[in-house]
Amino acid sequence: MDSTSEILHDFSPLIRVYKDGRVERLSGLETVPASFDPATGVQSKDVKISDTVSARLYVPKSVKPDQKLPLVVYFHGGGFVIGTASSPVYQTHLNNLVAEANIMVVSVDYRRAPEHPLPVAYEDSWTSLQWIASHSTRAGQEPWLNEHADLQSVFFAGDSAGANIAHNMAIRVGTEKPNGYNVEGIALVHSYFWGQEALSGERIEPKIRDFLDRLWFFIKPDTNGLDDPLINPASDSRLSSLGCKRVIIYVAEQDVLKHRGLYYKELLDNSGWGGRVEVVETRDENHVFHLFDPTTDKAVSLVKSVASFINNGKSI
Protein backbone atom coordinates (compact mmCIF):
# COMPACT_ATOMS: atom_id res chain seq x y z
CA MET A 1 0.00 0.00 0.00
CA ASP A 2 1.21 3.51 -0.84
CA SER A 3 2.46 5.28 2.32
CA THR A 4 0.54 8.37 1.27
CA SER A 5 -2.73 6.54 1.90
CA GLU A 6 -1.76 4.16 4.72
CA ILE A 7 -3.02 5.39 8.08
CA LEU A 8 -0.66 5.30 11.05
CA HIS A 9 -2.92 6.94 13.65
CA ASP A 10 -6.69 7.23 13.31
CA PHE A 11 -8.51 9.42 15.79
CA SER A 12 -11.62 10.03 13.74
CA PRO A 13 -13.58 12.28 13.87
CA LEU A 14 -10.70 14.50 15.03
CA ILE A 15 -7.54 13.69 13.11
CA ARG A 16 -5.64 11.11 11.09
CA VAL A 17 -1.90 10.76 10.57
CA TYR A 18 -0.51 8.82 7.60
CA LYS A 19 2.68 6.79 7.44
CA ASP A 20 4.32 9.41 5.24
CA GLY A 21 3.83 11.94 8.07
CA ARG A 22 0.87 13.75 6.53
CA VAL A 23 -1.60 15.10 9.09
CA GLU A 24 -5.27 15.27 8.13
CA ARG A 25 -7.57 17.20 10.45
CA LEU A 26 -11.15 16.05 10.04
CA SER A 27 -12.94 18.79 11.95
CA GLY A 28 -12.30 22.22 13.43
CA LEU A 29 -10.94 23.48 10.11
CA GLU A 30 -13.25 26.44 9.53
CA THR A 31 -12.09 29.88 10.64
CA VAL A 32 -13.65 33.34 10.76
CA PRO A 33 -11.88 36.71 10.87
CA ALA A 34 -11.88 38.95 13.90
CA SER A 35 -14.52 41.63 13.46
CA PHE A 36 -17.20 43.78 15.00
CA ASP A 37 -20.26 41.67 15.83
CA PRO A 38 -23.43 43.75 15.47
CA ALA A 39 -25.56 41.18 17.33
CA THR A 40 -23.58 41.55 20.58
CA GLY A 41 -21.73 44.83 20.09
CA VAL A 42 -18.40 43.07 20.69
CA GLN A 43 -15.22 43.99 18.85
CA SER A 44 -12.41 41.49 18.29
CA LYS A 45 -8.95 41.64 16.77
CA ASP A 46 -5.96 39.34 16.33
CA VAL A 47 -2.56 40.04 17.87
CA LYS A 48 0.85 38.41 17.66
CA ILE A 49 2.33 37.50 21.03
CA SER A 50 5.55 35.87 19.83
CA ASP A 51 6.93 34.27 16.69
CA THR A 52 4.85 31.18 17.41
CA VAL A 53 1.90 32.32 19.52
CA SER A 54 -1.02 34.60 18.72
CA ALA A 55 -4.34 35.48 20.33
CA ARG A 56 -7.72 36.95 19.57
CA LEU A 57 -8.81 39.82 21.81
CA TYR A 58 -12.40 40.84 22.59
CA VAL A 59 -13.86 43.98 24.16
CA PRO A 60 -17.46 45.16 24.46
CA LYS A 61 -18.41 48.12 22.27
CA SER A 62 -19.77 49.91 25.32
CA VAL A 63 -16.38 50.07 27.04
CA LYS A 64 -15.37 53.61 27.90
CA PRO A 65 -11.86 55.07 27.49
CA ASP A 66 -9.61 53.78 30.29
CA GLN A 67 -12.46 51.68 31.74
CA LYS A 68 -10.99 48.59 33.42
CA LEU A 69 -12.75 45.27 32.93
CA PRO A 70 -12.18 41.79 34.37
CA LEU A 71 -9.91 39.86 32.02
CA VAL A 72 -10.66 36.28 30.99
CA VAL A 73 -7.81 34.31 29.43
CA TYR A 74 -9.56 31.67 27.33
CA PHE A 75 -8.06 28.39 26.11
CA HIS A 76 -9.97 26.64 23.32
CA GLY A 77 -10.69 22.92 23.26
CA GLY A 78 -10.22 20.28 20.59
CA GLY A 79 -8.22 17.50 22.24
CA PHE A 80 -5.00 19.48 21.75
CA VAL A 81 -5.20 18.56 18.04
CA ILE A 82 -8.01 20.56 16.39
CA GLY A 83 -9.61 23.99 16.61
CA THR A 84 -8.12 27.46 16.86
CA ALA A 85 -8.88 30.79 18.46
CA SER A 86 -10.46 31.80 15.14
CA SER A 87 -12.86 28.83 14.96
CA PRO A 88 -16.42 30.11 14.45
CA VAL A 89 -17.74 28.26 17.51
CA TYR A 90 -15.31 30.19 19.72
CA GLN A 91 -15.96 33.49 18.00
CA THR A 92 -19.67 33.08 18.73
CA HIS A 93 -19.18 31.78 22.26
CA LEU A 94 -16.79 34.53 23.30
CA ASN A 95 -18.83 37.29 21.66
CA ASN A 96 -21.76 36.08 23.77
CA LEU A 97 -19.70 35.81 26.96
CA VAL A 98 -18.10 39.23 26.57
CA ALA A 99 -21.48 40.84 25.97
CA GLU A 100 -23.13 39.03 28.87
CA ALA A 101 -20.36 39.60 31.42
CA ASN A 102 -19.00 42.97 30.21
CA ILE A 103 -15.42 41.69 30.27
CA MET A 104 -12.31 41.60 28.12
CA VAL A 105 -11.05 38.30 26.71
CA VAL A 106 -7.69 37.11 25.44
CA SER A 107 -8.29 33.86 23.53
CA VAL A 108 -4.97 32.04 23.16
CA ASP A 109 -4.02 30.38 19.86
CA TYR A 110 -1.55 27.78 21.07
CA ARG A 111 0.23 25.30 18.80
CA ARG A 112 -1.31 21.84 18.47
CA ALA A 113 -0.20 18.22 18.44
CA PRO A 114 1.01 16.12 16.72
CA GLU A 115 3.21 18.66 14.91
CA HIS A 116 3.85 20.27 18.29
CA PRO A 117 3.34 17.61 20.99
CA LEU A 118 2.71 18.51 24.58
CA PRO A 119 4.00 20.33 26.54
CA VAL A 120 4.12 22.90 23.69
CA ALA A 121 0.49 23.99 24.21
CA TYR A 122 1.21 24.60 27.89
CA GLU A 123 4.38 26.54 27.14
CA ASP A 124 2.58 28.67 24.54
CA SER A 125 -0.16 29.38 27.06
CA TRP A 126 2.41 30.40 29.67
CA THR A 127 4.08 32.67 27.12
CA SER A 128 0.68 34.32 26.65
CA LEU A 129 0.34 34.90 30.38
CA GLN A 130 3.80 36.45 30.52
CA TRP A 131 2.83 38.73 27.64
CA ILE A 132 -0.32 39.77 29.48
CA ALA A 133 1.74 40.48 32.61
CA SER A 134 3.97 42.80 30.57
CA HIS A 135 1.00 45.21 30.48
CA SER A 136 0.79 45.58 34.25
CA THR A 137 2.41 49.03 34.12
CA ARG A 138 0.06 50.08 31.29
CA ALA A 139 3.04 50.35 28.97
CA GLY A 140 2.72 47.08 27.08
CA GLN A 141 2.54 46.59 23.33
CA GLU A 142 -1.24 46.08 23.14
CA PRO A 143 -3.41 49.19 23.69
CA TRP A 144 -6.57 47.25 24.58
CA LEU A 145 -4.81 45.54 27.46
CA ASN A 146 -3.20 48.79 28.62
CA GLU A 147 -6.52 50.63 28.56
CA HIS A 148 -9.11 48.06 29.59
CA ALA A 149 -7.68 44.98 31.35
CA ASP A 150 -7.99 44.86 35.13
CA LEU A 151 -5.01 42.63 35.80
CA GLN A 152 -6.00 42.33 39.45
CA SER A 153 -9.16 40.54 38.32
CA VAL A 154 -8.00 37.81 35.94
CA PHE A 155 -9.81 34.55 35.23
CA PHE A 156 -8.73 31.49 33.28
CA ALA A 157 -11.39 29.61 31.36
CA GLY A 158 -11.62 26.90 28.75
CA ASP A 159 -13.51 23.89 27.50
CA SER A 160 -12.28 20.28 27.25
CA ALA A 161 -8.52 20.44 26.48
CA GLY A 162 -8.73 24.18 27.13
CA ALA A 163 -10.09 23.51 30.62
CA ASN A 164 -7.13 21.20 31.15
CA ILE A 165 -4.81 24.04 30.14
CA ALA A 166 -6.62 26.50 32.43
CA HIS A 167 -6.13 24.14 35.37
CA ASN A 168 -2.46 23.56 34.61
CA MET A 169 -1.82 27.29 34.18
CA ALA A 170 -3.44 27.90 37.58
CA ILE A 171 -1.15 25.23 39.08
CA ARG A 172 1.86 26.99 37.59
CA VAL A 173 0.67 30.38 38.85
CA GLY A 174 0.26 28.94 42.33
CA THR A 175 3.72 27.39 42.40
CA GLU A 176 5.71 30.08 40.57
CA LYS A 177 3.76 33.13 41.80
CA PRO A 178 4.40 35.38 38.80
CA ASN A 179 4.11 39.13 39.10
CA GLY A 180 1.85 41.39 37.07
CA TYR A 181 -1.59 39.85 37.50
CA ASN A 182 -3.89 38.24 40.04
CA VAL A 183 -5.93 35.16 39.16
CA GLU A 184 -9.28 35.33 40.92
CA GLY A 185 -10.76 32.12 39.56
CA ILE A 186 -10.92 29.46 36.87
CA ALA A 187 -13.97 28.23 34.94
CA LEU A 188 -13.57 24.69 33.63
CA VAL A 189 -16.13 23.46 31.11
CA HIS A 190 -16.23 19.70 30.47
CA SER A 191 -12.60 19.27 31.45
CA TYR A 192 -10.33 16.87 29.60
CA PHE A 193 -8.92 14.97 32.56
CA TRP A 194 -8.22 11.24 32.53
CA GLY A 195 -6.44 8.45 34.42
CA GLN A 196 -5.33 4.85 34.40
CA GLU A 197 -8.08 3.52 36.66
CA ALA A 198 -11.81 3.95 36.14
CA LEU A 199 -13.62 6.06 38.72
CA SER A 200 -16.63 4.95 40.71
CA GLY A 201 -19.67 5.23 38.46
CA GLU A 202 -17.54 5.82 35.37
CA ARG A 203 -18.98 3.29 32.91
CA ILE A 204 -17.37 3.88 29.53
CA GLU A 205 -17.44 1.59 26.52
CA PRO A 206 -14.08 -0.12 25.99
CA LYS A 207 -13.80 1.41 22.51
CA ILE A 208 -14.17 4.94 23.89
CA ARG A 209 -11.78 4.29 26.76
CA ASP A 210 -9.22 2.92 24.30
CA PHE A 211 -9.63 6.04 22.15
CA LEU A 212 -8.99 8.33 25.12
CA ASP A 213 -6.07 6.22 26.35
CA ARG A 214 -4.38 6.27 22.95
CA LEU A 215 -5.07 9.96 22.39
CA TRP A 216 -3.05 10.98 25.45
CA PHE A 217 0.01 9.02 24.31
CA PHE A 218 -0.43 10.49 20.82
CA ILE A 219 -0.40 14.12 21.98
CA LYS A 220 2.30 13.61 24.65
CA PRO A 221 4.61 10.81 23.45
CA ASP A 222 7.06 11.29 26.32
CA THR A 223 4.37 10.96 29.00
CA ASN A 224 4.91 8.66 31.95
CA GLY A 225 1.40 7.29 31.46
CA LEU A 226 -2.28 7.99 32.00
CA ASP A 227 -1.61 9.19 35.53
CA ASP A 228 0.68 11.95 34.28
CA PRO A 229 -0.16 14.97 36.51
CA LEU A 230 -0.93 17.03 33.40
CA ILE A 231 -3.92 14.80 32.59
CA ASN A 232 -4.73 13.38 36.04
CA PRO A 233 -4.84 16.03 38.80
CA ALA A 234 -5.02 13.24 41.40
CA SER A 235 -1.34 12.57 40.64
CA ASP A 236 -0.25 16.18 41.11
CA SER A 237 1.35 16.85 44.49
CA ARG A 238 0.99 20.59 43.80
CA LEU A 239 -2.82 20.60 43.71
CA SER A 240 -3.15 22.40 47.04
CA SER A 241 -1.14 25.27 45.50
CA LEU A 242 -3.75 26.01 42.83
CA GLY A 243 -3.22 29.71 42.19
CA CYS A 244 -6.73 31.13 42.51
CA LYS A 245 -9.46 31.63 45.09
CA ARG A 246 -12.46 30.22 43.24
CA VAL A 247 -13.20 27.39 40.82
CA ILE A 248 -16.35 26.53 38.94
CA ILE A 249 -16.62 23.16 37.20
CA TYR A 250 -19.19 22.48 34.49
CA VAL A 251 -20.18 18.91 33.65
CA ALA A 252 -22.73 17.52 31.21
CA GLU A 253 -24.83 14.54 32.23
CA GLN A 254 -24.12 12.46 29.09
CA ASP A 255 -20.44 13.40 28.75
CA VAL A 256 -17.97 10.52 29.18
CA LEU A 257 -15.72 12.98 31.02
CA LYS A 258 -18.41 13.95 33.53
CA HIS A 259 -17.00 11.89 36.40
CA ARG A 260 -13.55 13.41 35.92
CA GLY A 261 -15.05 16.84 36.53
CA LEU A 262 -16.87 15.66 39.65
CA TYR A 263 -13.70 13.96 40.88
CA TYR A 264 -11.76 17.18 40.39
CA LYS A 265 -14.03 18.90 42.91
CA GLU A 266 -13.48 16.05 45.37
CA LEU A 267 -9.73 16.32 44.89
CA LEU A 268 -9.73 20.06 45.54
CA ASP A 269 -11.94 19.68 48.61
CA ASN A 270 -9.50 17.17 50.09
CA SER A 271 -6.24 18.75 48.97
CA GLY A 272 -5.87 21.48 51.55
CA TRP A 273 -6.42 24.18 48.94
CA GLY A 274 -8.25 26.98 50.71
CA GLY A 275 -10.52 28.24 47.95
CA ARG A 276 -14.15 27.73 47.00
CA VAL A 277 -15.23 25.23 44.38
CA GLU A 278 -18.65 24.50 42.93
CA VAL A 279 -20.09 22.23 40.25
CA VAL A 280 -22.80 23.01 37.72
CA GLU A 281 -24.29 20.00 35.92
CA THR A 282 -26.37 20.30 32.74
CA ARG A 283 -28.92 17.52 32.39
CA ASP A 284 -29.46 15.57 29.16
CA GLU A 285 -26.50 17.17 27.35
CA ASN A 286 -23.17 15.97 26.03
CA HIS A 287 -19.61 17.25 25.70
CA VAL A 288 -19.33 20.97 24.77
CA PHE A 289 -22.98 21.07 23.72
CA HIS A 290 -23.02 24.84 24.17
CA LEU A 291 -20.59 25.35 21.30
CA PHE A 292 -22.59 23.35 18.78
CA ASP A 293 -25.85 25.23 19.38
CA PRO A 294 -25.31 28.40 21.42
CA THR A 295 -28.94 29.52 21.08
CA THR A 296 -30.52 26.81 23.24
CA ASP A 297 -31.75 27.69 26.71
CA LYS A 298 -29.12 25.46 28.32
CA ALA A 299 -26.28 27.00 26.32
CA VAL A 300 -27.47 30.51 27.17
CA SER A 301 -27.75 29.48 30.82
CA LEU A 302 -24.15 28.22 30.81
CA VAL A 303 -22.87 31.55 29.46
CA LYS A 304 -24.90 33.44 32.05
CA SER A 305 -23.49 31.21 34.77
CA VAL A 306 -19.89 31.86 33.73
CA ALA A 307 -20.64 35.60 33.58
CA SER A 308 -22.14 35.52 37.06
CA PHE A 309 -19.15 33.58 38.40
CA ILE A 310 -16.81 36.26 37.05
CA ASN A 311 -18.81 39.26 38.22
CA ASN A 312 -20.53 38.11 41.40
CA GLY A 313 -18.39 35.28 42.67
CA LYS A 314 -21.08 32.66 42.19
CA SER A 315 -22.93 30.87 39.43
CA ILE A 316 -26.65 31.09 38.67
Sequence-distant (≥ 6) Cβ neighbours of residue 154 within 8 angstroms: 70, 71, 72, 73, 132, 181, 182, 183, 184
Compute how many other C-beta atoms are within 10 angstroms of the C-beta atom of residue 217. Answer: 14
- Contact status, residue 165 vs residue 125, Cβ threshold 8 Å: yes
- Whether 160 sits among the annotated catalytic residues: the reply is yes
Q: Which of 87, 128, 153, 160 is catalytic?
A: 160
Phi, psi of 140 (to 5 degrees): -80, 180
Rounded CA separation 153/103 (Å): 10
CA distances from residue 25 to 66, 214, 231, 275 in whole angstroms, order as listed: 42, 17, 23, 39
- List the catalytic residue out of 37, 159, 228, 255: 255
> 287, 290, 305, 315: which is the annotated catalytic residue?
287
301 is catalytic: no
User: Phi and psi for 267 in degrees, rounded to 5?
Assistant: -60, -45
136 given a catalytic annotation:
no
Distance CA(22)–CA(3), nearest Å, equals 10
Residues designated as active site: 160, 255, 287
